[in-house]
Structure 1
Amino acid sequence: MSTQSMQHDPASETAGQISPEGVAPACAWDETFDVVVVGGGSAGIAVTASLLRRQPGLKIAVVEPRDTHDYQPAWTLVGGGLFDVDRTRRAMNEVMPKGVTWIRAAVARIEPDENRVRLENGEAVPYRDLVVAAGLRLAWERIEGLEQALGKYGVTSNYRRDLAPYTWELVRSMRSGTALFTQPAMPIKCAGAPQKAMYLSCDHWRRAGALERINVEFNTDGAVLFGVAAFVPSLMKYVHRYRANLAFRSNLVAVDGPGKLAYFDVKDAAGETTRVAKPFEMLHVVPPQVAPDFVRDSQLADAAGWFEVDHATLRHPRYANVFALGDVCSAPNAKTAAAARKQAVIVASNLLAMRSGLPMPSRYDGYGACPLTVERGKVVLAEFGYGGKLLPTFPLDPTKPSKLAWLLKAKLLPWFYWNGMLKAREWLTGKHA
């Protein structure tokens, strides 16, 4: 999975400065910041580190309410019993780049005409340039009854850190019955993650000799298994191996936890929708996903509510001193941590060039990567850009399952995330200094 969503934290009604040892009180901003970065997830920390690597003297503030930072791509592995959940989280002050001001508060709105960010505590943070990396919001409430059922009745989701271990608990204890896996309408973070939950579950049941007694069904709002056609044949081989049923145009709309029923709106070829109830022993849910309210309700959003950007430069089309990256932005790329890593370089180099009155040197090609974990020990490393163009990093057939890609996903990438991406070590990014 990809960049973190910026959620309101009730414990963060004050602002603080981390340098990173000390904490300053709110209302400490007596001058305008060179750059304000909204969001302390993967994209926000990566772009902040990238800016400071290029221009160490910048006065940067990062607005982020949470005091922890998560490596979300490993949660699918946690749900498959293959990764320790405690290794997916660190304290925010451990990853915050040295010398920045950490404003530990939630954003109420952005006021681009006044060049300031308004916080929920009423204070305003002035900026010369703004980078929005606010992630997205998991809209659990859009599925009736889901919030009341999560974490019990066999209802789980690898999209929440506290629930990924419950996924594994359900998988390892299940010996028969029906397991439903869902995928909502796009866009979502890491479009392959809903399938990965199914593949790893099925692989365990196959190894345990239980798969023949389990009815597996993948319900997706979409009309295809995966949006880039080149990867579908390899994925379909695993669908057949695991005897999984595919239900297209089938969108989860309600959950009856105690009754162990999931309700889907199923659309037929004529466009007619029928409500269908399906019983389950296990239900893995991926919720609908939307931009944060302070983006959706602002003049910075596009018609769908995402932060509007030029797809190549990642700059806002109407506010020249405002950029965005990560899950929140409107560029039609896969919303993954790998995309944020490339985007951080694009935004940092373009923003600094703009500040110097120079042409913006970098163009984003839509690169994103989705390591599709199809079984324990093998991964289809899907790397692609705008229009589904394949953009493999390594000289291997990217459409085939690979042990090397598994080692990359399970071993190297977690280490590199903490020690590379968040530290502006920009290997294989085509960086512009």
Structure 2
Amino acid sequence: MTPATATPPHHQVLIVGGGTAGITVAARLRRAGIREITLLEPSETHWYQPLWTLVGGGQAPLRAALRTEADVIPPGVRWLRERAAAVDPVARTVTTASGRVLSYGRLVLAPGLQLDWDGVPGLAKALGHGGVTSNYRADLAPLTWEMIRRMRRGTAVFTMPSGPVKCGGAPQKIAYLAADYWRKRGVLDAIRTVLVIPEPVLFKVPVFSRALEETARRYGIEVRLRSELTHLDGAAREAVITDHTDGSTETLRYDLLHAVPPQRAPEWLADGPLADPESPYGYVKADRETLQHPDFPQVFVLGDVANLPTSKTGAAIRKQAPVVVANLLAGLRGRPAAARYDGYTSCPLVTARHKMLLAEFDYDLRPAPSIPLLDTTRERTDMWFLKRYGLPRLYFNGMLKGRA
């Protein structure tokens, strides 16, 4: 038999992606007694990305967010250090970038999303120098802090793109951290701060939107709603902002620009049979409750790549993973999928050094607080310490171990 016609190796459970979602599901499956688990992940590093905002704000070292991939993969899980390149849900196979074909019984898709730095003309070329930075790249988060720390006067612009993005609060959290630092240094009045948001409000949940509006007023931040960065001239230090209500444009000359790129599903998924035709960004179709693909029930989808009407956060994954595992196990045992995800997500909204709101809500944008007796709709110091120290510990020692 030639390699071209050989039967591909079979994997009872194949997980694509070794980030938060993939590792959490693998750990839970192992704790449930599943032995044949294969993880497809090319990276040798694993990042706790929610900490990058605090790195950019000068409140945490980058090393605190880093582990090796080998350190977080659960014992007994087979790790293939390759990148997925295609999926055939009819044949139940995944093809890797090297051409290897893998057969699966159950497939868990958790590859994360793709940062489209070229989605804004001029951004990719300007990134990392001339006052342009982004906390959405690990190597640039320390640069963000250096730029903030050195700034004494001028114009600082913070932008967010249209469409679903990971950690939707991060684009504005760094603006508040910067403004708070400048206020404490006595230079805030000499710095024009502009926050560009494509949404009609600062936050979709009204109680938190009102709190953030007050935060922006406190710092004197100029908020541009329904607006977006559409072109960047790095040499001239000019950013073109488009108002989506009437199509008008404004050119801002900046001294510091923190840009968040447009985001979409990896191309091999966006162009493949599992993508949701309703998603212009190529995210994968998934039942919003069972997290199974409606057309291929052997495929489970969670994390940033899933086209679900909720924010793309690690907190959402913490609630999605148990549902995926329960329904996957039910399928292996010949039972119907009974577990349900209600859309819970959480966004820690840092508003100052040692101050934070904790926004928790569900599919219907109803507040869904998980900490009894604490009003997390107002700025709290204890919530900041939770983000800086408690949540990373919960992540590495709880979620990634399948315990939380």
In the superposition, the TM-score normalised over structure 1's length comes to 0.89
**Match status 1:88 vs 2:65:** yes
Instruction: Structure 1: give runs of 5+ residues left out of the alignment.
Output: 1-27, 427-433
- The residue type equivalent to 1:348 in the other structure is V
Mapped partners of 1:138, 1:31: distance in 2:
32
| Cα deviation, residue 29, structure 1 | 9.2
Mapped partners of 2:129, 2:399: distance in 1:
36
| Cα deviation, residue 279, structure 1 | 0.4
Mapping of residues 252-401 of structure 1, within 5 Å: 252-268=229-245, 272-303=246-277, 304=279, 305-395=282-372, 396-401=374-379
Q: Give the secondary-structure state (helix, strand or coil) at the position aligned to 2:138.
A: coil
- The residue type equivalent to 2:376 in the other structure is P
Mapped partners of 2:46, 2:119: distance in 1:
26
Among 108, 132, 141, the residue aligned to 2:109: 132
- The residue type equivalent to 2:151 in the other structure is M
Identify which range, 393-402 or 332-341, moves more after superposition.
393-402
Runs of 4+ deviating beyond 2 Å: 28-31
Q: Give the secondary-structure state (helix, strand or coil) at the position aligned to 1:389.
A: coil
Among 389, 392, 397, the residue aligned to 1:411: 389
**Match status 1:50 vs 2:28:** yes
| Cα deviation, residue 30, structure 1 | 6.4
Among 147, 153, 161, the residue aligned to 1:170: 147
Mapped partners of 1:352, 1:139: distance in 2:
35
Q: Give the secondary-structure state (helix, strand or coil) at the position aligned to 1:386.
A: coil
| Cα deviation, residue 245, structure 1 | 0.6
**Match status 1:33 vs 2:11:** yes
Q: Give the secondary-structure state (helix, strand or coil) at the position aligned to 1:388.
A: coil
Mapped partners of 1:251, 1:38: distance in 2:
32
- The residue type equivalent to 1:173 in the other structure is R
What corresponds to 1:67 in structure 2?
44
Among 73, 85, 108, the residue aligned to 1:108: 85
| Cα deviation, residue 274, structure 1 | 2.1
Determine if contact 1:76/1:193 at 8 Å carries over to the other structure: yes
Aligned length: 395
What corresponds to 1:25 in structure 2?
none
Instruction: Structure 2: give runs of 5+ residues left out of the alignment.
Output: 1-5
| Cα deviation, residue 236, structure 1 | 1.4
Give % identity: 45
Q: CA 1:394 to 1:419, structure 2 compared with 1: closer, same or farther past 3 Å?
A: same
What is the aligned-residue RMSD (CA, Å)? 1.2
Among 115, 120, 125, the residue aligned to 1:143: 120
Mapped partners of 1:51, 1:34: distance in 2:
12
- 1:192-218 CA-to-partner distances (Å, cap 9, x unmatched) read 101101010001001100101100110
**Match status 1:194 vs 2:168:** no
Mapped partners of 1:136, 1:62: distance in 2:
17
In the superposition, the TM-score normalised over structure 2's length comes to 0.96
- 1:274-333 CA-to-partner distances (Å, cap 9, x unmatched) read 232110000000110101111111111112121100000000001011101000001111
Among 233, 243, 252, the residue aligned to 2:220: 243
- The residue type equivalent to 2:219 in the other structure is Y
Mapped partners of 2:147, 2:90: distance in 1:
51
What corresponds to 1:5 in structure 2?
none
| Cα deviation, residue 377, structure 1 | 0.8
- The residue type equivalent to 1:144 in the other structure is P
